[in-house]
Every structure is written in C-alpha cells, then in structure tokens.
Amino acid sequence: MTTARPETPAADAGPAEHLHAALALGDDALVLAQRLGEWTGNAPTLEEDVALTNIGLDLLGQARHLLGLVGDEDELAFHRDEREFRNLQLVEQPNGDFAHTIARQLYFSCAQSLVHRELAASDSPLAGLAGKTVHEVAYHRDHAVQWTLRLGDGTEESRTRMQRALDALWRYTGELFDPVPGLPVDLPALRAPWLRDVTEVVERATLRLPSGPDRAAWAAGGGRDGVHTEAFGRLLAEMQHLPRSHPGARW
C-alpha cells in the first residue's frame, strides 16, 4: 500500500491538541456507522432497518465533521491502515445477532451521551459539535434502552441472547473510560455514572450485569493506540476496497 500516512496530531501539540480527541471520537463514530450500515436490508423488520440506518447516518455525520477537522475526511477514512485507526475496540465488534448489536449500542451510547454532554459544556473547539449531537445521541441511547428492556424481559430465547450479548461485550467496556488526550472530559470519572445508568437498565430488563473483567488481558493499549481485534481488518477491507481499487472514483 503506497498511500500517504495522514498526519496524526501529537498528543501534546498545544493548540491543536483537540485534534487528537477529534480523531479518536471521529473514528468511533465512523466505525460504528459502518457496522450499523451492515444491517441495511438485513434488520429483523423494515422499521428496525430504518432505525439502525438512521443511527448509523447520525454517527457518519459526526465522523465527517470530526475527521474533517483533522484532515481530508475521505483520505482518513479510506486510506489509513488498521494500526492508524484510533477507535475503541467496542465499536468494531461484529454485529452478531440483533442482541449483540443492541448490547454494543447500549454500552456505547450510554457512555457517548455522558461524554457529549460534558464536552458540550466545555470550552473545547469540539463543544459546538457536541452541543448539536446531544439530542441525537440521547435518541440512540433511548433506542438501545428500549430494545434491551424488550429483549431481556421478552421470550426465553430473547432473554438468553441478550444476556449472552451483554456478557460477551463486557470486556470491551473498560476502554470507554481511558483518558483521551485533548478531550476536556474526565473519562475515568464517568465510569461510575455510566455503570449506574447501565445497571438500572439491565436490572429493569430482568438481566444481570456481567461480573467478569471489563477489559481483556491481551487488549494492551487497546483501540486508542491502534491495537484492534481480528474482525476490524475485515470491516476495513469492505469499507475501503472500492476507493483503494479505483482511486478517485466518484458516484
């Protein structure tokens, strides 16, 4: 691959420090949007198809704004290799069954809504964007909450699957609260309110909060350092193959 390496802003680059945070949050939004896009045409019902696609498009809008601050959005999305992406490992996890998608949405959007609320109130250059996204993120969170309640308190089958999904993704939740340089939000301090929110939903859904470790032993560094899980390579291959095999291609 002979593409130019996009500039990754240094963590301590002074005035441009917020660009490091923009890249991290932008990659989260981009990768989760790509995952949700995989449901288009495949969701359990037509209505849910539109709902998941809407959420994905909201996230894509966030990604475009954030990556646009860092550099050329297309260059960043399509011409970076795996190790250069700064997204959380949580958002790259495969869709799995519908319950896995909902569990991923629940963990992520509960955290994202706390982060964006604090970011909107900060004096960061990213505060303006966060002010606009607070409402859409609140809706993403509500969507995940409603489905968690219905799957958990639904049939024996849906309950088993929802619990399995919560358990399987739990190990990726620790990373949500690792500090991000340039982000004026005390992420470690948000873990307690996040845990309170998630616990409340999970208990109302008659499920139990997973008890295992919230990060895998091998996760060293994690997604924010460009260390990604096996499924991420395939996601990137699908997302990037067209612009890479036909450079400059347009619709």
Q: Contact at 8 Å (CB) between 239 and 87?
A: no
CA torsion 25-29-147-174 (nearest 10°) is -40
**Contacts by residues 133-141 (CB-CB < 8 Å, ≥ 24 positions apart):** 133/58, 133/62, 136/58, 137/58, 137/109, 137/112, 137/113, 138/113, 139/55, 139/58, 140/55, 140/58, 140/59, 140/105, 140/109, 140/112, 140/113, 141/106, 141/109, 141/110, 141/112, 141/113
Q: Give how many residues touch other proteins by CB under 8 A.
A: 13
d(CA 67, CA 69): 5
The only residue of 1, 4, 46, 249 in contact with other proteins, by rule CB under 8 A: 46
Q: Does 143 bind other proteins (CB under 8 A)?
A: yes
100 makes contact with other proteins (CB under 8 A): no
Binds other proteins by CB under 8 A, chosen from 2, 47, 211, 218: 47
Which of 7, 142, 203, 225 is the binder for other proteins (CB under 8 A)? 142
Q: Given candidates 25, 30, 51, 63, which one binds other proteins under the rule CB under 8 A?
A: 51
Considering the rule CB under 8 A, would residue 42 count as an interface residue with other proteins?
no
In the complex, least distance from residue 234 CB atom to other proteins, rounded to whole angstroms = 26
According to the binding rule CB under 8 A, does residue 205 interact with other proteins?
Answer: no
Distance CA 117, CA 109 (A): 12
Q: How far is the CB of 47 from other proteins (least distance, A)?
A: 4
- Could you give the CA distance from residue 108 to residue 190 in angstroms, rounded to a whole number? 13
Give the one residue of 64, 132, 150, 164 binding other proteins; rule: CB under 8 A: 150
Kindly state the smallest distance separating residue 54's Cβ from other proteins, in Å.
5
- Applying CB under 8 A, does 217 fall inside the site for other proteins? no
Beta carbon of residue 51, minimum distance to other proteins (angstroms, whole number): 5
Exactly one of 2, 45, 211, 245 binds other proteins (CB under 8 A); which one? 45
Q: How many CB atoms are closer than 10 A to CB 83?
A: 10
Interface residue with other proteins, options 8, 54, 95, 122 (CB under 8 A): 54
**Residue 182 zone, left/alpha/beta (φ > 0; ψ -120 to 50; rest):** left
| Of 79 and 104, CB closest to other proteins | 104
Q: Tell me which residues touch other proteins (CB under 8 A).
A: 44-48, 50-51, 54, 98, 142-143, 146, 150
